[in-house]
Structure 1
Amino acid sequence: MPTDDSPWPQTPDLPGHEPARHVTFLHGLGGSPLSWEEQVSKLPRDLPAVAPWLKGMRPGGNDEFTLAGAVGDVLLSRQLDGVSTGALVGHSLGAMVALQCALDDPDSVSHLVLVAGQARPPKAVMQLQRVALKFVSKRRLAAQGVSKENLMEALRDGSQFDAQGSLDQIRCPTLVVYGSRDRPNQPAAKHMAAAIPRARLEIVEGAGHDVMRDATPTFNALLYDFLGHPLPG
Structure 2
Amino acid sequence: MAYADSGGIKIYYEVHGEGRPIVFVHGGGGNSLSWFQQVPHFAKDYRVITVDLRGFKNSKCPDAQVHPKYFPDDMRAILDAEGIDKAAFVCQSLGAWAGLPLAARHPERVAALVLTGSPTPAYSEENWKVLYESGERFMNRAGRGVATGFLAPHFIERHPEMKFLYDQIRVLNQPFDARRMQDDVVKVHPQDFAGYQVPTLMMGGALDFFLTPDSHKHVATLIPGAELYDFPQSAHSAYFEEPEHFNRVVGEFFARRHPA
Equivalent residue letter for 1:199: A
Structure 1 residues 174 and 126: CA distance shift in structure 2, 3 A? same
Structure 1 residues 123 and 193: CA distance shift in structure 2, 3 A? same
Write the distance in 1 (CA, Å) between the matches of 2:245 and 2:58: 31
Per-residue CA deviation, residues 104-130 of structure 1 (Å, 9 max, x unaligned), is 311100100000111344323312322
Equivalent residue letter for 1:182: D
Equivalent residue, structure 1, for 2:206 = 180
Cα pair 1:167 1:192 within 8 Å, conserved? no
Higher normalized contact order (CA 8 Å, seq sep 6+, divided by chain length) = 1
- Tell me by how many angstroms 1:45 deviates: 2.8
- Tell me by how many angstroms 1:143 deviates: 4.7
Equivalent residue, structure 2, for 1:74 = 75
Equivalent residue, structure 2, for 1:13 = none
Identify unmatched segments of 5+ residues in structure 1: 1-19
Q: State the Cα RMSD in Å.
A: 2.8
Asked if 1:48 is matched to 2:21, the reply is no
Cα pair 1:88 1:111 within 8 Å, conserved? yes
Equivalent residue letter for 1:197: P
Equivalent residue letter for 1:128: R
Equivalent residue, structure 1, for 2:182 = 159
Equivalent residue, structure 2, for 1:39 = 38
Q: TM-score, normalized by length of structure 1?
A: 0.78
Write the distance in 2 (CA, Å) between the matches of 1:143 and 1:197: 37
Cα pair 2:104 2:193 within 8 Å, conserved? no
Structure 1 residues 217 and 166: CA distance shift in structure 2, 3 A? farther
Write the distance in 2 (CA, Å) between the matches of 1:50 and 1:168: 26
Equivalent residue, structure 1, for 2:225 = 198
Identity of aligned residues (%): 23
Higher strand share: 2
Q: Equivalent residues in 2 for 1:124-139 (5 A)?
A: 124-133=133-142
Equivalent residue letter for 2:179: R
Write the distance in 2 (CA, Å) between the matches of 1:142 and 1:216: 17
Structure 1 residues 166 and 176: CA distance shift in structure 2, 3 A? farther
- Tell me by how many angstroms 1:218 deviates: 1.1
Cα pair 1:178 1:185 within 8 Å, conserved? no
Query: The residue matched to 1:69 in structure 2 has which SS?
Result: helix
Per-residue CA deviation, residues 139-168 of structure 1 (Å, 9 max, x unaligned), is x9995353575323xx13112242253563
